[in-house]
Amino acid sequence: MKTYIVLDESGAMHLKNERYFVIAGFITRELHKVTSTHKKMEEIVKKRKNISLTQKIELKSSKINDSQQALFLNELYGLSGVIPIAIVIDKDNLSKFGASENVAYNFFVKNLLKYLFRCNLPILKTHEIELRVDNRNTSVKTLRDLETFLQWEFELKDLEVEVKYLDSKDNRDIQMADYVANLVWKKYNCVNEKLSRRVSLYYRTYISKFPFKLFGKSPTIKQLASCHK
């Protein structure tokens, strides 16, 4: 049975006013559960924001408040067969990394997958993975070799990896990944963030940290005035 890994990113490698960059989303074999849940919660949020139910609009994490975002996240985290995942990159400790942003994205996705396989998740006992990513991110748009890169990396596992680049406006699963990525981004970058406290099952998130040995060490004074990312 095919396993879906849906990812989005929050923050940017080149921004200096934030310490942590995040790639996050979820794993599932039942994508329809995620999309139907998003549709249901979208109707609730639209009513709260006085938006017509017939109006097609993407409720990105940057356009809704923490309370509304938590509605989506609590439903997603509560779904059986859905595992939230993330890799958090400590940019302050990448001084010797030296990779371009495009190469770095490939590298971090590979490291996230390797971490997840080390966790021995039953859902990853599969021969076919479909990686679904947002095509609006410049770093992703230019990385058409990501599929080949991952196939080389996991060839010995007899694992077929297919990468699909999707527009989040038309894909509810990518929008859900956006909420997870923004949640984790706020958790690590924002002073006194409150969103994770609104998500009762936040602890279920499998989080890889890079670079592992230096992660979080020698913290700089980078405090964001706002968490409305």
In whole angstroms, give the CA distance from residue 117 to residue 127.
Answer: 13
Q: Do the beta carbons of residue 87 and residue 108 sit within 8 Å?
A: yes
CB within 8 Å of 189: residues ≥ 6 apart: 11, 18, 19, 20, 222, 224, 227, 229
State how far the Cα of 170 lies from the Cα of 21, in Å rounded to an integer. Answer: 25
Q: Measure the CA angle with vertex 16, ends 218 and 107; round to 5°.
A: 80
The domain segmentation of the chain, as residue ranges, is 3-210
* Residue 45 near residue 59, CB atoms below 8 Å: yes
Residues whose CB is less than 8 angstroms from the CB of residue 157 and which lie 6 or more positions away in sequence, other chains included: 117
Q: Is 211 exposed, middle or buried (0-12, 13-18, 19+ CB in 10 A)?
A: middle
3 state SS of 154: coil
* CA-CA-CA-CA torsion sign (67, 69, 71, 75): negative
Q: What is the pTM of this model?
A: 0.91
Does 3-210 carry CATH code 3.40.50.10860? no
Question: Can you say how many angstroms the Cα of residue 138 is from the centroid of all Cα atoms in its chain?
Answer: 16
Enumerate the β-bridge partners of residue 20: 90
Query: Residues with Cβ < 8 Å from 66, sequence gap 6 or more?
Result: 194, 195, 198, 227
> How would you classify residue 218: left for phi > 0, otherwise alpha for psi between -120 and 50, otherwise beta?
left
Beta strands 82-90; 20-28: pairing state: antiparallel
pLDDT by residue for the chain (229 residues), tens only, comes to: 899 999 999 998 877 788 999 999 999 999 999 999 999 999 999 999 999 999 999 999 999 999 999 999 999 999 999 999 999 999 988 876 666 677 788 889 999 999 999 999 999 999 899 999 988 655 555 556 788 888 887 776 788 888 998 999 999 999 999 999 999 999 999 988 999 999 999 999 999 999 988 898 886 555 454 565 4
